[in-house]
Structure 1
Amino acid sequence: MDISSQIEYALLKATTTEREIIDLCHEAKLNNYYAICINSAYVTFAKQLLDKTNIKVCTVVGFPLGATTTESKVFEAKKAIEYGADEIEMVINLGFLKSQNHVSVLKDICDVKLAIGDVPLKVILEISELNKNEIIKACEICLDAKADYIKTSSGFSKSGATFTAIKIIKKTIRDATKIVAYGDIEDYETAIKYLEAGADIIGTSVNISSGNRVPQNRNAKIFKKYLEANQKTTVLETNLTDNHQK
C-alpha cells in the first residue's frame, strides 16, 4: 500500500540548516509526499525548492507551546502565507483549556482561521498533556472553529500520537474534519496502523514510504545554485544603489 500522499514530512528543530531543508525537500520529491512541515524562516526557500511540484509547504505558528497571544498567532500566520505557506499549524492554548476558559480557546482558533481564509488550518492539541475529557472538549472547540485538521502533537512534549487518542478524536469528530497523527511514528507498519485507526495524515520526521526508507541525498548542485543566485542578487542590488547615489 502506497501511503506517500498521506505523509507530512517534518523538520522543526531549532538548529535546522539550509542543507537539511534541501535534503528534506529532495526526499519529499523522491517519495511524492503530501507535504513538508517546517519553521516559517524557511518557507520561501522551501517553496523555491519545491517549485513545479504538488507538495504542500506547511508551517507552524505559536509553536511549540501555544501560549503566545492570539494576535501574535494571527500575525505569524498571515506573514507565513505571504512567504508562500500552503497550510498553517497552530498550537492550542493549553493553559486556557486547562483553566476551562473555553471561550478564549475558541476565539484563539477562530481568529487565526478567519485571518487565513481558505488556507487549511491544523490545530495541534498536544494530547500528552490532556486527559480524555480535555481531548474531547478540544476537538469540539476545533469543530466549532472550523479547523480543517486536528493534529495530535507538536513533537516537543512528553510523547506523540497514541492509538487511544486517535480513536477518541475520531469518535468525537466523526468525518467533520481530518486527523493528523504525529509523534513517535518511525516506520511504515506503524503508520499503516494509525491510518487504520482513523488518521488521515501521518506526520513524521523519519523518511518513510511503502516499507522502505530512502537514504538522505546531499544535493550539492541545488545548494550551490541557490547560493550563486543570492550572490548575484546582492551584487545587483549593490550596483543599483551605487548608481542611484551617483
Structure 2
Amino acid sequence: ISFPLGQLTINEKVNETRSAIADGATEIDYVVNITELKAGNQDYITEEMTRIVKACRDANVVSKVIFENCYLTDEEKTTLANIAREVKPDFIKTSTGFGSGGATLPDVKLMKSIVGDDVQVKAAGGIRSLDDALAFVEAGATRIGTSSGVALVKEFNKRYGN
C-alpha cells in the first residue's frame, strides 16, 4: 500500500487497503508517510497506522508497517517503533527493498528492543546469504524478506539436513 514512497493520504491508503483485501489480499504491507514523520507529525503517523491496522484487523488480515529505515534517523525509527508498540500491527518491517539500503542488524535490534513481543519484526532488503538471514533471526526478526529465498532454503537444507 502506497508503495514504494508512502506519500498517499491516510484516506487513500485506507481505501487502497480495503480494495486489496476485497481483491483477496491476506497480508497488507504499507509504507509510512516519511514526509509527515520527518515533519514531526506523530499524530498523523499514529492515525495512519491505527486506521490501516484496524482495516486489516476488521478483515482478519495481517498488517505490516514498512519503515524504510534507510531514510530515517535512529530517533525517527524509535518514534515509529514506539507508535507501533501502542497500535500493535502484526509486523514492523525494515524496508521495501527498493530504497537506497535494506535491513541492518542494528535496525532490527533497535526495533525489537522497543516493540518487544507485542509486534513482530520483518527484516527485508539486501539479505542474500543464509548466515545473514540467521543473524537477523538472532537479532529478533521473525520473518525475512529476500529475493534469494530458494537459495537460502537450499543452503539451509544442505547445511542442516532436510
Fold match (TM-score > 0.5) = yes
Distance across 2 between alignment mates of 1:94 and 1:142: 15
Aligned to 1:112, which of 40, 45, 52?
52
Aligned to 1:70, which of 10, 18, 24?
10
User: 8 Å contact 1:86–1:119 — kept in the other structure?
Assistant: yes
Distance across 1 between alignment mates of 2:86 and 2:156: 39
Is structure 2 residue 147 aligned with structure 1 residue 205? yes
User: What displacement does 1:136 show?
Assistant: 0.7
Q: Deviations over 1:168-205 (max 9, x none)?
A: 11111111110000000012121111101111100011
User: 8 Å contact 1:188–1:210 — kept in the other structure?
Assistant: no
SS in 1 for 2:141: coil
Is structure 2 residue 63 aligned with structure 1 residue 132? no
Amino acid at match of 1:161: A
Aligned to 2:160: none
Report the count of equivalent residues: 153
Distance across 2 between alignment mates of 1:127 and 1:167: 13
Structure 1 unaligned segments of length 5 or more: list them.
1-60, 214-246
User: What displacement does 1:132 show?
Assistant: 1.1
Distance across 2 between alignment mates of 1:73 and 1:211: 38
Structure 2 unaligned segments of length 5 or more: list them.
158-162
User: What displacement does 1:82 show?
Assistant: 1.3
SS in 2 for 1:202: strand
Aligned to 1:190: 132
User: 8 Å contact 2:94–2:122 — kept in the other structure?
Assistant: yes
Identity of aligned residues (%): 35
1:67–1:123 distance in 2 versus 1, CA, 3 Å: same
Q: TM-score with structure 2 length normalisation?
A: 0.90
Distance across 1 between alignment mates of 2:52 and 2:110: 25
Distance across 1 between alignment mates of 2:69 and 2:131: 22
Distance across 1 between alignment mates of 2:8 and 2:98: 16
Aligned to 1:123: 65
Task: Find the structure with the greater CA-based Rg.
Answer: 1
Amino acid at match of 1:211: E
User: What displacement does 1:102 show?
Assistant: 0.2
CA RMSD of aligned residues (A): 1.4
User: 8 Å contact 2:32–2:66 — kept in the other structure?
Assistant: yes
Is structure 2 residue 108 aligned with structure 1 residue 157? no
Q: TM-score with structure 1 length normalisation?
A: 0.60
Amino acid at match of 2:116: R
User: 8 Å contact 2:31–2:65 — kept in the other structure?
Assistant: yes
Runs of 4+ in structure 1 over 3 Å off = none
Distance across 2 between alignment mates of 1:119 and 1:140: 22
User: What displacement does 1:210 show?
Assistant: 4.6
Aligned to 2:31: 91
